[in-house]
Structure 1
Amino acid sequence: MNTKKRILVAPLNWGLGHSTRCIPIINALIENGFEPIIASDGVALELLKKEFPTLSAFELPSYNITYAKKANGFKIKLIKDSPHLLKTIKREKKVIKALVETEAISGIISDNRFGVRHKTIPSVFITHQLRVLSGNTTWLSSKLHQKIISKFNECWVPDYMGTINLSGELGHPKNFEAPVKYLGALTRFKKRDVETEYNLLVLLSGPEPQRTYLEEKLLSDLKHYKGRVLFVKGKVESEQQKTVMDNVIVYNYMTSEQLEIAINKSDLILSRSGYTTLMDLEKLEKKAFFIPTPGQFEQEYLAKRLSSERIAPYCDQDDFDINMLSEIEKFSGFKSQEYELNYKKLFGLF
């Protein structure tokens, strides 16, 4: 008879970051004698099913978040999408209620899924955005987000508590009303001592259509790049594909283990300034160049902050030129912080 407590882990399907940062949590649950159950939709669900083929996995209603074609249309599109979003949250709550009953769930960990909680069961919300940037409506988006977070038992922030941190004012706002725990950087990767094989690693992810725009732009720009390039599209498909174009090796996606080796073996990283990517690169102490997703305030803020701290340069998608990579030399790159997270204590909630 199975006496393990079953914990539902449900990341948002928006890019790959939410699901990949749940990987260390799922592993820690297993190590601490729990039985994790996965729930998500789209590529986030596919990725976790590939990482954990033996765990039970359930599909949740899709938020269907895509970007506007133009950066400045992002906010208008979000407002237009909000009735659909609210409907999805309602449907999500229904699915969770049923899962709690049929799967005997003892705890819930939601990474940015608003409807994944239950009144009678300890429910945790993971986010690094206690403050949600949205231009001149930041006060409103932050207020709404805090209201949602307060409905959970705890909020876990994947960042360091002190002044040297990765999320800046996103994860460290003043007067925040909710029980918050800082977890340090959440990453599935470890630093390895390996020979450098690639001069440049391009890591793509994030919602369409912007992911494809950047892919096409970079593949054409890289024709003028002299070094060895590994290009990972961040498209989770049923089969892994590899193609070679002159000095560029292209993969549609990589498993965690392959990606860990690839980043360790690469001299420079070119990617979006998504928060999960920053946590990964900090752990592996890499030098990087960032191209924030157009219209995504959070990525723009993080890229500017890293640039002002002289850690990594960035530029807007439309302005990028392959020669800008030489800028990286003037920046320090990431330095890792030693931090041991006590998972046993953290999971005491369940």
Structure 2
Amino acid sequence: MEPETQKRVLLSPLAWGLGHATRIIPIIREFSQKGYLITVATNNELGALIKNHCPYSEIINFYSPKMKLGTGKAGVLNLLSFLVKLPFVTIIEQIKLKRLLKGKSFTLIVSDNRFGFRSSKTKSVIITHQLRVIPPKPFGFVKYLGEYVIRHLLSRFDEVWVPDFNNTSRIAGMLSEPNGLTNLRYIDPISRFYGISPSQQNSQWEVIVIASGPEPQKTEFINILTAYLDEINLKTLIVKGNPFNTNSWETHGNITFVGSLSSDEMATAIINTKCVISRSGYSTIMDLLYLNKGAFLIPTPGQTEQEYLAKRMNELGWFKCVDQRDLSKELLKDLLNKTIPTPPQISPKQVLDFIE
């Protein structure tokens, strides 16, 4: 293909934890297989993660506001503060994207949950499973206003790609219901593990903890589980979710820490470990369903989407869930002695068959 006719796609994931970056990995791979040149606009952390999995990608450092989620009332206030700032963040994204596009030409722009990452001059789509909002309980009265704002922001994209089923079997439940939008395309669930067939083998780990999400909650999650699992004395692997420290291993007693793992290594570790403990982020749930692997899910406190998904997964009987505030050594020990449910499996498939 001649350089001047080469198809190019510009992608940008929301820098709120690693989930938005991991779930665009299969999207990037499919675009690459279709002959597109890949450019990803993101921060250094997510850029390192994507470069590790898709080394052919061009990474451009780009404005990436981070959400700092505290605990308790502070977490709720931080979340509300972020929502108030969202229109301004969107405007800043628009301004910075226009600067990025000067002198560059792309066939398509793909945003993952970044409402301002679109252009009127280039076809722009957004990937999101959150078509509706769940405000914190004291602020339920803003639900309809929030959904109006989300609907307005999403309607400005040429298409909204929803990584869920377009039927009553929606994984995300009410979150991925249409909300009056007419530019939706349900692309079915996606997973970073698409195309990977992990082998069954004897595992050296009894428990694997997958840490993710915004700080300081991610570190608090690691610290709480480290303390309890150290006392319970189970051979444990904790994946800290740090793409800068790929394969940096450190062992203290019965617990081994690693910064991050490749998709193949992560899939193999998950499949061959007796028990998986993780947050209840949507990307993590899709990965576990893809691998047909049960887990204990602990939603990030104050993150209402994760709390809703954890409750939904528990009610469906797909995963066992527990609130972080209820966690104790005794409860964790009791959970680890129980049978872990096996969720349904997502059939592997390519999701971008409609892209030329």
Report the TM-score when normalising by structure 2: 0.90
Quick one: which of 204, 212, 227 aligns to 2:211? Answer: 204
Match of 1:266 in 2: 273
Q: Is the 8 A contact 2:320 2:340 kept in 1?
A: yes
Q: After TM superposition, which residue ranges in structure 1, 4 or more long, deviate above 6 angstroms?
A: none
Match of 1:338 in 2: 347
Q: Distance in 2 between matches of 1:24 and 1:129?
A: 19
Q: Is the 8 A contact 1:184 1:341 kept in 2?
A: no
Quick one: which of 314, 317, 322 aligns to 1:310? Answer: 317
Confirm whether residue 298 of structure 1 aligns to residue 305 of structure 2: yes
What letter is aligned with 1:46? A
Q: Specify the SS of the correspondent of 2:126.
A: strand
What stretches of structure 2 of length at least 5 have no aligned partner? none
Q: Is the 8 A contact 2:126 2:157 kept in 1?
A: yes
Q: Distance in 1 between matches of 2:313 and 2:353?
A: 33
Q: Specify the SS of the correspondent of 1:287.
A: coil
CA separation of 1:115 and 1:211: change in aligned 2, threshold 3 A: same
Quick one: which of 166, 174, 185 aligns to 1:169? Answer: 174
Q: Distance in 2 between matches of 1:239 and 1:254?
A: 6
Q: Is the 8 A contact 2:14 2:114 kept in 1?
A: yes
Shift of 1:85: 4.1
Q: Distance in 2 between matches of 1:55 and 1:115?
A: 22
Identity within the alignment, %: 32
Report the TM-score when normalising by structure 1: 0.92
Match of 2:68 in 1: 66
Q: Specify the SS of the correspondent of 1:105.
A: coil
Higher mean C-alpha deviation, range 220-229 or range 209-218:
220-229
After superposition, what is the alpha-carbon deviation per residue over 1:185-241, rounded to whole angstroms, capped at 9, x for unaligned? 210113423124022110001001111111111111111234321111112225642
Quick one: which of 195, 201, 223 aligns to 1:195? Answer: 201
Confirm whether residue 151 of structure 1 aligns to residue 156 of structure 2: yes
What letter is aligned with 1:336? Q
Shift of 1:101: 3.4
Q: Distance in 2 between matches of 1:163 and 1:327?
A: 30
Match of 2:54 in 1: 52
Q: Specify the SS of the correspondent of 2:102.
A: helix
After superposition, what is the alpha-carbon deviation per residue over 1:142-166, rounded to whole angstroms, capped at 9, x for unaligned? 2211110000011011112222231
Shift of 1:4: 1.7
Q: Is the 8 A contact 1:21 1:188 kept in 2?
A: yes
CA separation of 1:194 and 1:322: change in aligned 2, threshold 3 A: farther
Higher mean C-alpha deviation, range 192-201 or range 331-340:
331-340
Match of 2:37 in 1: 35
Quick one: which of 226, 232, 235 aligns to 2:239? Answer: 232
CA separation of 1:28 and 1:52: change in aligned 2, threshold 3 A: same
Shift of 1:11: 0.5
Q: Distance in 2 between matches of 1:217 and 1:319?
A: 12
Higher mean C-alpha deviation, range 230-239 or range 77-86:
77-86
Higher mean C-alpha deviation, range 304-313 or range 319-328:
319-328
Match of 2:116 in 1: 115
Q: Distance in 2 between matches of 1:196 and 1:169?
A: 39
Match of 1:245 in 2: 252
CA separation of 1:284 and 1:56: change in aligned 2, threshold 3 A: same
Confirm whether residue 24 of structure 1 aligns to residue 26 of structure 2: yes
Q: Is the 8 A contact 2:245 2:258 kept in 1?
A: no
CA separation of 1:64 and 1:332: change in aligned 2, threshold 3 A: closer
CA separation of 1:216 and 1:222: change in aligned 2, threshold 3 A: same
What letter is aligned with 1:47? L
Q: Distance in 2 between matches of 1:126 and 1:342?
A: 12
Shift of 1:176: 2.2
Quick one: which of 218, 226, 244 aligns to 1:219? Answer: 226
CA separation of 1:313 and 1:76: change in aligned 2, threshold 3 A: same
What letter is aligned with 1:98? R
Q: Is the 8 A contact 1:12 1:44 kept in 2?
A: no
Shift of 1:258: 2.0
Q: Give the number of aligned pairs.
A: 345
Confirm whether residue 92 of structure 1 aligns to residue 57 of structure 2: no
